Structure 1
Amino acid sequence: MMLDNMPRGTICIEDLEIGMTRYLQKEITNRDIELFAEVSTDHNPVHLDDDYARDTIFEGRIAHGMLTAGLISAVIGEQLPGHGTVYLGQSLKFMAPVRPGDVVYAEVKVTSIDHARRRVTLETHCAVGDTVVLRGEALVLAPSRKFD
């Protein structure tokens, strides 16, 4: 279930400003984890098997880290810059686990803009409550009105 999402669409590079942010919130469900396992073919039992996961350092099942990272992709592709954006790179640091039932807040913030090359650098992070679970930086090719 999506909560508190900002409007979707496109912000062309001509309209981007340093400091602009966009976000979404999503509850990570058991179904999300099962579907991600199916699509990615990552069936690690720490994600799918309660008994197995209980005996790991996580002491219970966790969502795939890349499922959480996918929420960053959703903000970039749907909101900032939005439709027409091309991902060029993404660094990720996983700080804490995300568990079934957690509500993840994913946010991106514009930190630099190279108008000549249409490149935008974004600070990215995800949090569950006050706990940052993922942080990183994305480099994207932003849409432009000059190329519509």
Structure 2
Amino acid sequence: MLDNMPRGTICIEDLEIGMTRHLRKVVTDRDIELFAEVSTDCNPVHLDDDYARDTIFSGRIAHGMLTAGLVSAVIGEQLPGHGTVYLGQSLKFLAPVRPGDMVTAEVEVTAIDHSKRRVTMDTRCLVDGKKVLAGEATVLAPSRKFD
């Protein structure tokens, strides 16, 4: 299941401090398997129930970068959206995401440098209202002046 806001582009000229966008997605076993295949990260904590049961997580978890990828989707598809160039991202993984969890990925504009077209955003992911990922992104936003 995927629930998100409209996709497209918000040019830097139209961005404002405090603007937010989000998406919601249930992380599935298939998502985890596909991420393992694409990334080549086949750590058994993600793929093997028996192995994962004996870890500090007491069960399988999604790759942290799969969760972080949902933040990337919000930035690249919604805020600022198409034409955005990622410059940097800090991440703190605060809690595991498990198969079947509904993840809400959110971004919020916290600073805008119009002269450099740079936008700083607070980034976070939540499961059941609990923050599982926190960070900050810096991006180069699209501009109508460069169409």
Give the aligned partner of residue 117 of structure 2: 118
Give the aligned residue type for 2:124.
H
Give the aligned partner of residue 50 of structure 2: 51
Unaligned runs of 5+ in 2: none
Runs of 4+ in 1 over 2 A off after TM superposition: none
Report the RMSD for the aligned CA atoms in angstroms: 0.3
Residue 83 of structure 1, CA deviation: 0.1
Matches of 2:49 and 2:62, distance apart in 1: 12
Provide the TM-score with structure 1 as the length reference: 0.99
Give the aligned residue type for 1:2.
L
Matches of 1:12 and 1:104, distance apart in 2: 27
Matched pairs, number? 147
Taking the TM superposition and a 5 Å limit, the aligned residue runs for 1:54-65 are: 54-65=53-64
Unaligned runs of 5+ in 1: none
Give the aligned partner of residue 31 of structure 1: 30
Give the aligned partner of residue 14 of structure 1: 13
Confirm whether residue 129 of structure 1 aligns to residue 128 of structure 2: yes
Taking the TM superposition and a 5 Å limit, the aligned residue runs for 1:53-132 are: 53-132=52-131
Deviations 1:35-56 (A, max 9, x none): 0000000000000000000000
Give the aligned residue type for 1:131.
K
Give the aligned residue type for 2:120.
T
